């Protein structure tokens, strides 16, 4: 609980708790509006799908915005939009116009607000607490979501039974105001990262993830678990109503039990981290969750199902917390929001796509059979742990910026000029040649991760001890950013290890197309020469 001692983290955490409670109330109200429909299995599964699928389209642009704009104002705007959408949904219920299409469209709108704000919200967490508190902060943040999951559905079940779903949607609209108020009081440091366009910024984020083995492995583990695991969340309303004969209160208790289990999981996780590795925790939690899915498919006693769902909540939050902590500790600040957007695209988008798929499957083979298929795929996913576990170094590498400015003046070439070709000539003894090649190829991943669009290593035919590293970047500004803003301590160590195997002071050459070279005092600009030649 140490992060809660920090006032800014505490107030934002409490505000998010209020908002999360409202969001879980919203889920119960929306699904219960549709549970009596002839196509309930599909429609109720489409509710979580509608709220999560916007991530697929908006997550990456939202990540760029969060890396480029003041995250505080981005979050205020997204929460204001969600308050408006929830308020409109409440009005449609009170006016009798809330049909399935209206509910799904406005749920989709709420999902758009979440998709836009999520990368910024995740990216500010490391700015709120010291690095050594990030695992605790991640666990507490997961507990926040799951305390809300325990409280919100139970409260919503009672409110739906008493006053109908409209009141639930209205409460959710008001809950967003707590986040807006907390953000308005927090004076976060505005972020200015230049005027990189949306396309290049997305490309650099994707390039980073593609060349970051640890991030790719975390994202893979998220996809393998969340897609089959989402079957339980997608079909629980249909199982509660159609199989167990429960009303809104019973469904609220079932969702609340998942939340209680998640809170328990967050409480025991610190002790478990001291005894088990991240991979061990992922395996154990996935087994627990899969067993719970099977049990829910067979049990008919409400009390037995509630106990089973508590166990499922424990498994769910342990997987979520392990992966969230790993991704937070792995990412450098310059690309954090964009990379988190890719992770959210997989994790939240996987839930959305999974919910839609499971709803369609359940409309054909039934909810219980579909739940068993999902459980089987959870267990099948565990087999892949032997092939694709999290790396042992995940979350332990130095991700602090280790700037290395260029020796030449910043204004020698316009930032927009490009492409740029960098050549570095090394002299390497025959005894160190093999080790140098291995080190250079490890460095290549760093070059690509921090901005290089291509990389290659050459050996001089006339001098076997001369190696030339060659890599290109899209613009001169990208090259400057690579050296001054993006290289972390780990990247610098890879560079140091490579250079330690060669003679000191390798020859570095910067090449750019002639038309991008600036005018010099010694002659006519290249562009002017071209014009003169064209006029003859």
Dihedral, CA of residue 162, residue 165, residue 167 and residue 170, to nearest 10: 160
Q: pLDDT tens digit string along 317-336?
A: 899 889 988 888 888 877 87
Residue 249 scores a pLDDT above 70: yes
Residue 383: pLDDT above 80?
yes
- Residue 352: is its pLDDT beyond 50? yes
CATH architecture of 2-189+198-386: Up-down Bundle (1.20)
Alpha helices in 99-185 (DSSP H): 100-128, 134-163, 165-185
Place of tokens 């116009």: 97
Residue 530 is encoded by which pair of tokens?
Answer: 């071209």
Residue position matching structure tokens 């997550």? 59
- Residue 273: pLDDT above 80? yes
Tell me: pLDDT of 405 over 70: no
> CATH number for the 410-534 domain, one of 3.30.70.100, 3.40.50.920, 3.40.50.1370, 3.40.50.2020?
3.30.70.100
What are the start and end residues of each CATH 3.30.70.100 domain in the chain?
Answer: 410-534
Side-chain half-sphere CA neighbours of 290 within 13 A: 21
Pick the closest to residue 502 from 442, 429, 443 (CA basis): 429
Question: Is residue 532 very low, low, confident or very high in pLDDT (cuts 50, 70, 90)?
Answer: very low
| Residue 244 tokens, joined | 């167990």
In sequence order, which residues have a C-beta less than 8 Å from that of residue 455 and are 6 or more positions away?
Answer: 444, 447, 448, 469, 470, 471
- Which ranges in the chain are annotated with CATH 1.20.1250.20? 2-189+198-386
For 78-128, the pLDDT digits (tens) are: 999 999 999 999 999 899 888 888 988 998 999 899 888 888 887 777 777
- Distance of alpha carbon 398 from alpha carbon 241, whole angstroms: 51
């Amino acid at each position: 609980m140490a992060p809660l001692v920090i006032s800014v983290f505490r107030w934002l955490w409490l505000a998010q708790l209020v908002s999360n409670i409202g969001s879980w109330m919203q889920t119960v109200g929306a699904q219960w509006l549709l549970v009596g429909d002839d196509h309930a299995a599909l429609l109720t599964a489409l509710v979580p799908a509608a709220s999560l699928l916007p991530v697929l389209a908006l997550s990456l642009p939202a990540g760029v915005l969060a890396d480029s704009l003041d995250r505080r104002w981005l979050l205020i705007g997204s929460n204001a939009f969600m308050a408006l959408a929830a308020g409109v949904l409440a009005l449609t219920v009170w006016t009798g116009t809330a049909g399935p299409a209206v509910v799904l469209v406005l749920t989709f709108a709420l999902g758009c607000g979440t998709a836009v704000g999520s990368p910024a919200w995740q990216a500010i967490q490391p700015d709120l607490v010291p690095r050594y508190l990030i695992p605790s902060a991640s666990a507490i943040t997961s507990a926040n979501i799951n305390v809300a999951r325990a409280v919100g559905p139970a409260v919503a079940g009672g409110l739906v039974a008493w006053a109908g779903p409209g009141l639930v949607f209205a409460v959710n609209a008001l809950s967003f105001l707590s986040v807006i108020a907390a953000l308005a009081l927090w004076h976060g440091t505005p972020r200015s990262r230049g005027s990189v366009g949306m396309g290049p910024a997305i490309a650099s984020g994707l390039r980073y993830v593609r060349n970051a083995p640890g991030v790719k492995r975390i994202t893979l583990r998220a996809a393998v678990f969340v897609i089959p695991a989402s079957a339980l969340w997608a079909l629980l309303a249909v199982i509660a109503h159609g199989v167990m004969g429960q009303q809104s209160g019973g469904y609220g208790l079932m969702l609340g039990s998942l939340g209680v289990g998640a809170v328990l999981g967050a409480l025991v996780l610190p002790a478990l981290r001291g005894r088990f590795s991240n991979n061990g925790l992922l395996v154990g939690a996935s087994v627990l969750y899969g067993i719970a899915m099977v049990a829910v498919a067979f049990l008919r006693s409400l009390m037995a199902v509630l106990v089973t769902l508590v166990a499922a909540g424990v498994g769910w939050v342990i997987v979520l917390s392990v992966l969230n902590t790993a991704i937070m500790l792995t990412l450098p600040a310059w690309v954090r929001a964009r990379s988190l957007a890719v992770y959210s695209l997989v994790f939240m988008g996987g839930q959305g796509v999974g919910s839609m798929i499971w709803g369609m499957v359940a409309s054909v083979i039934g909810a219980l059979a579909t739940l068993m298929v999902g459980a089987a795929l959870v267990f099948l996913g565990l087999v892949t742990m032997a092939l694709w576990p999290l790396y042992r170094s995940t979350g332990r590498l130095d991700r602090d910026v280790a700037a290395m400015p260029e020796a030449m003046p910043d204004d020698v070439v316009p930032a927009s000029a490009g492409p740029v070709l960098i050549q570095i000539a090394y002299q390497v003894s025959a005894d160190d040649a093999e080790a140098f090649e291995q080190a250079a190829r490890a460095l290549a991943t760093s070059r690509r991760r921090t901005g290089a669009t291509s990389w290659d290593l050459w050996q001089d035919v006339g001098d076997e001890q001369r190696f030339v590293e060659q890599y290109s970047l899209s613009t001169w500004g990208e090259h400057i950013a690579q050296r001054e803003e993006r290289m972390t301590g780990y990247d610098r160590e890879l560079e140091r290890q490579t250079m330690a195997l060669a003679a000191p002071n390798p020859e570095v050459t910067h090449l750019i197309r002639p038309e991008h070279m600036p005018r010099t005092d010694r002659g006519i600009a290249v562009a002017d020469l071209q014009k003169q030649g064209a006029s003859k």
